[in-house]
């Protein structure tokens, strides 16, 4: 079995939208990268686009971190959009009910556009 890759996250800004670019496997060890990065966002951020293009794997603990991020954003009246998920993880996000709180998009432009609407 291969070792999980360490999760990295960086933030790009597009006006009031923060694009959180995740990279590597997302597991329980990804707490600082996922939630720490979200918590460090500037107060004027109104929308968060989560970029999963470079995320090959999410386990149940990783999905729980994403759920926690989305719930925190919801409490702060921030909209969340997700892009770059594989078809498998699009199904998983739908099954666990994340699509009630976020929107799924094939690319960055659609996600950022949805957050600006």
Task: Encode pLDDT of 14-61 as tens digits.
Answer: 999 999 999 999 999 999 999 999 999 999 999 999 999 999 999 999
Do the domain assignments include residue 2?
no
Q: Note whether residue 90 is domain-resident.
A: yes
- pLDDT of 100 strictly over 60: yes
Q: Give, as one character, the DSSP assignment of residue 70.
A: H
Phi/psi of residue 89, nearest 5 degrees: -75, -20
Counting beta carbons within 10 angstroms of the beta carbon of residue 93, is it exposed (0 to 12), middle (13 to 18) or buried (19 or more)? buried
Average pLDDT over residues 65-78: 96
- Examine the pLDDT at 102 and tell me if it is beyond 60: yes
Domains: count for the chain: 1
> What pTM did the predictor assign?
0.94
Beta strand pairing call for 47-54 and 8-14: unpaired
Domain ranges, residue 70: 8-116
| Residue 6 pLDDT | 87
Q: How confident is the model at residue 5 (pLDDT cuts 50, 70, 90)?
A: confident
């Amino acid at each position: 079995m291969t070792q999980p890759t360490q999760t990295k996250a960086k933030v790009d800004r597009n006006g009031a939208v923060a694009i959180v670019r995740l990279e590597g496997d997302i597991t329980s060890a990804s707490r600082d990268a996922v939630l720490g990065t979200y918590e460090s966002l500037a107060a004027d951020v109104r929308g968060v686009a989560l970029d999963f293009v470079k995320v090959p794997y999410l386990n149940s603990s990783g999905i729980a971190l994403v759920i926690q991020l989305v719930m925190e954003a919801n409490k702060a009246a921030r909209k969340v959009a997700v892009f770059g998920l594989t078809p498998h993880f699009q199904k998983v996000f739908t099954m666990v009910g994340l699509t009630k709180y976020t929107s799924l998009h094939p690319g960055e432009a659609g996600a950022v556009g949805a957050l600006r609407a």
